[in-house]
Amino acid sequence: MTEMVFGTAPVGAGEPVLPKWWRTIDRWSMSAILLLFGVGLLLGLAASPPLAARNGLDPFYYVQRQAFFGGLSLVVMFAFSMMNPNLVRRLAVLGFFVSFVALMLLPFFGTDFGKGATRWFSLGFASVQPSEFLKPGFVVLAAWLMAASQQVAGPPGKSFSFILAVIIVLLLALQPDFGQACLILFAWAVMYFVAGAPITLLVVVAGMVVVGGLTAYEGSEHFARRIDGFLNPDLDPRTQLGYATNAIIEGGFFGVGVGEGQVKWSLPDAHTDFIIAVAAEEYGLVLVLAIILLYASIVVRSLLRLMRERDPFIRLAGTGLACMFGVQAMINMGVAVRLLPAKGMTLPFVSYGGSSMIAGGILVGMLLAFTRTRPQGQIGDILLRRGP
């Protein structure tokens, strides 16, 4: 019946998986992701040797680990991009509940690695950050609930998704990890808006964010210290933000030269949170603009393809994933140029980090799966048929 109403595009019977995947995937977005991974390795070669020297390790220890985790991330990305949306949804929901349980156990078994926030499980040979894996699973689950609420006699999915988002935000605030909490709320708000829901709840959420921010400022020394440092007009050049700002200024348009940067010797997080400062100092504004263009192209192309998608679940999930991916990159770079307070958030596919790299592979793999062209009528065709 669906095919009689909406029509289908002809698909070769028994078409092999790989040729079909290659024909339907967004190859431009996939190429941009691979370029980001290459840029991450290039910057890792510059940023991580000083850290390895301080820790008494081989100069390329962290680069090798980044290449290893990046390789795993790409395998995961390709695997998810080949799946159909139903399988992606099942695995995402399962991954969400596993990550949610792990998030609840963090206060009891987690560690802060001396950074003032209990966000990781230490496994000895590596560490795991549950919130990184929670994000893509939450987006898909929330999109499923919202899409179900649009059906006749469907469940109150929008309300369920909001309650779930609030619970997650509270758990993240306990770590504290206000950056990831804001990212979860942002992704939910974008999907809620795209789902056509009333604006009232978004206004309520905005008010809750303001109240929550004021409460966190009064009750969390960690949070207050970062906000005070951000609002202080006199930037201390000996802080991380001071070093990063100076590096960006020194880099100018073309940079000081490969390997000639100094910020990597001063910043303890030069290979993670402030990797863009290393890029700006050694390669200049040219590379920074290229990185921004790569992120923007992935987000914009994904949203344009999703605008033609008929299935509300795919549309909502893809939009949430694309916006979360882009906003996380924007937050990381915004912190480095002091547009935002420090949040401890990595730059997807560029910063060093096992959890963030593999979780990023899962996220973009899901996004590529949702933005594949499918043998179905597009939403524009439906609107034209319903016209006069």
Angle at 361 between CA 16 and CA 93, to 5 degrees: 85
pLDDT band of residue 15 (cuts 50, 70, 90) is: confident
pLDDT at 71 over 50: yes
**What does R_g of the chain's alpha carbons equal in angstroms?**
22
Give a yes or no: residue 3 inside a domain: no
Q: According to the model, what pLDDT value does residue 297 have?
A: 96
**For residue range 267-287, what is the model confidence (pLDDT) as tens digits?**
777 788 888 988 999 999 999
Residue 112, classed as helix, strand or coil, is coil
Burial class (CB in 10 A: 0-12, 13-18, 19+), 202: middle
Give a yes or no: residue 348 inside a domain: yes
Amino acid at 219: G
Q: According to the model, what pLDDT value does residue 12 have?
A: 46
Average pLDDT over residues 166-190: 89
Measure the CA–CA gap between 314 and 320, rounded to whole angstroms: 10
The dihedral sign for the CA sequence 102, 195, 367, 205: negative
Counting the structural domains of the chain, the total is: 1
| Angle of the 312-336 helix axis to the 85-109 helix axis, nearest 10 | 40
Cis, bond preceding 198 (omega within 30 deg of 0): no
**For residue range 40-62, what is the model confidence (pLDDT) as tens digits?**
999 988 888 888 888 888 888 88
Query: What token pair was written down for 218?
Result: 């009064």
Q: According to the model, what pLDDT value does residue 214 have?
A: 81
Give a yes or no: residue 123 inside a domain: no
Residue 8, classed as helix, strand or coil, is coil
pLDDT at 36 over 90: yes
Task: List the single range of 112-126, 242-256, 350-364 with lowest mean pLDDT.
Answer: 112-126
Higher pLDDT, 155 or 2: 155
Give a yes or no: residue 124 inside a domain: no
pLDDT at 10 over 50: no
Average pLDDT over residues 138-152: 93
pLDDT at 157 over 50: yes
Task: List the single range of 64-68, 151-155, 229-233 with lowest mean pLDDT.
Answer: 229-233
How crowded is residue 79: how many other Cβ atoms within 10 Å of its Cβ?
A: 14
Give a yes or no: residue 114 inside a domain: no
CA dihedral 338, 341, 344, 345 (to 10 degrees): -70
pLDDT band of residue 3 (cuts 50, 70, 90) is: very low
Query: What token pair was written down for 262?
Result: 């100094």
Average pLDDT, the chain: 85
Give a yes or no: residue 4 inside a domain: no
pLDDT at 242 over 70: yes
Give a yes or no: residue 115 inside a domain: no
Residue where the block lists tokens 């206000």: 178
Higher pLDDT, 38 or 56: 38
* Full residue range of the structural domain in which residue 317 is found: 17-106+130-373
Average pLDDT over residues 231-241: 68
**All residues at 6 or more sequence positions from 13 whose CB lies less than 8 Å from its CB, including other chains:** none
Torsion-angle region of residue 75: left (phi > 0), alpha (psi -120 to 50) or beta? alpha
Measure the CA–CA gap between 339 and 322, rounded to whole angstroms: 22
Q: Which of 42, 79, 71, 108 is nearest to 275 (CA)?
A: 42
pLDDT at 233 over 70: no
Please give the model's pTM, rounded to 2 decimal places: 0.88
Instruction: Give, as one character, the DSSP assignment of residue 311.
Output: -
How crowded is residue 386: how many other Cβ atoms within 10 Å of its Cβ?
A: 7
Q: Which of 94, 87, 145 is nearest to 365 (CA)?
A: 87
Q: According to the model, what pLDDT value does residue 376 have?
A: 59
Give a yes or no: residue 181 inside a domain: yes
- Contact of 256 with 283, CB cutoff 8 Å: no
Q: According to the model, what pLDDT value does residue 6 have?
A: 42
